[in-house]
Amino acid sequence: MTLRALVLGCLLAVIFTAANTYLGLLVGLTFASAIPAAVISMAVLRAFRTSTIWENMTVQTVASVGGAMSSIIFVLPGLVMIGWWLEFPFWQSVAICILGGVLGVTFSIPLRRALVTNGGLPYPEGVAAAEVLKVGSRGAEQIESAVRENKSGLWIVVAGAVVSAGYALLVAGRVFAGEAAKFFKLPTALGGGATGMGFGMQFALLGAGHLIGLTVGLAQLFGLILAWAIAVPILTSPDTVAWLTAHGIPSIASTLPAGAPAEELAATVWSREVRFMGAGVIGVAAIWTLVKLAGPLIGGLTSALAANAKRAHGEVLERTEQDLPIKLVGAISVACLVGIAGLLAWFAQSAPALAGSTPLLVIGGLVYVVLIGFAVAAICGYMA
């Protein structure tokens, strides 16, 4: 690790975190920044004759971790939405990000053997980033070609940023339309339900789609079709509403006034019913992933403990078998949990109704953080 690698990594982390935050708040989607960070790193550090692949890897790792922290936007705004916070307290928010982020990393360390070594997973993003790094670290006979590839990649990134910014300015100036949407009711022969379709022309989404790949993009398209072409029309159909009402089953569409416009009907049913179906699908997928990972996780943890025992007896391990000592990982995890306990106590003390339940809240919260945090770390590692 060098100072220039750390500075460049932090700078890219700020940029990619801002981009991910914007995209997440816009469409609820973030992207992995490993590949663009690696390309930019190699192009910049190539100016230094003593640059190495280790520096590029440091920059890429720092930038990727910083970009991943933007996922906090899916958590903290909930405290404002439910009225617990009236604003975002700066230092408490920073503490939540730091403690949660570090704890997630320590939870991921024992999973390396289970997911990477023994998991048999393709890891397309990581493999692609590794190939990019290898291009920039080849022998002297290939330096010129590597330089050309690095410069080409950097100019593509710069050109994409300029075109995207220019288009955003044109949209802001109302020269072009940024998006268009149309809600309508289906014919009686198709159930008479309401639905809608929209089109958004944003270069940020084009870039995100290129990064997430065809498989994930098709999965999202399939979910879109299930939601707006099947679920919303069925749940807004008068026949469905009448059947649900006759059987005493609550229906959001039945609470809306008769003759409600298609936009109000479709949007309300989607936000209050269909969207929760998607959350349920995600939950089931997460549980199924944990079931599939049970065996490899146990094997990975056992291997990590065995490697730690070998290290304690003075045996030399292969570089690919070396992890942070499990005792150090445990100590860092405990330190993070102590900090989280302090945050939970602060949360309880800030609400008079919970002041008398502080110990119960802290203990229950820590148990939840350990169990769910480890599960989420395993699922995120698997899905990566």
Q: What is the pLDDT of residues 210-244, one digit of tens each?
A: 767 787 788 888 998 999 999 999 999 988 988 88
* Residue 316: its H or E element: none
Alpha helices in the chain (DSSP H): 3-27, 34-45, 53-68, 76-81, 90-108, 112, 124-135, 143-172, 203-225, 232-236, 238-246, 262-269, 275-312, 326-349, 358-383
Q: Are 71 and 21 in contact (CB under 8 A)?
A: no
The pLDDT of residue 366: 92
| pLDDT one-digit tens code per residue, 170-224 | 877 777 777 778 888 888 888 888 998 887 777 777 777 776 778 778 888 899 8
Per the domain annotation, does 59 fall within a domain? yes
Residue 83: inside a domain: no
Residue 21 domain flag: yes
Q: Is the pLDDT of residue 109 over 90?
A: no
Domain boundaries, position 15: 1-70+122-176
Q: Give, in order, the Cα–Cα distances in Å from 217 to each of 221, 231, 333.
A: 6, 20, 35
Long-range contacts, stretch 274-282, CB < 8 angstroms, 24+ apart: 274/227, 274/231, 274/232, 274/235, 275/227, 277/227, 277/231, 278/223, 278/227, 281/223
Asked whether 45 and 7 are in contact (CB, 8 A), the reply is no
Q: How confident is the model at residue 140 (pLDDT cuts 50, 70, 90)?
A: very low
User: Is 239 domain-assigned?
Assistant: no
**Number of domains, the chain:** 1
Residue pLDDT, tens place only, 57-81? 888 888 887 667 788 888 888 888 8
Q: Cβ distance 24 to 70 under 8 Å?
A: yes
Q: Per the domain annotation, does 267 fall within a domain?
A: no
Encode pLDDT of 81-91 as tens digits.
877 778 888 88
- 25 within domain boundaries: yes
Under a CB-based contact definition with an 8 Å cutoff, are residues 358 and 343 in contact?
no
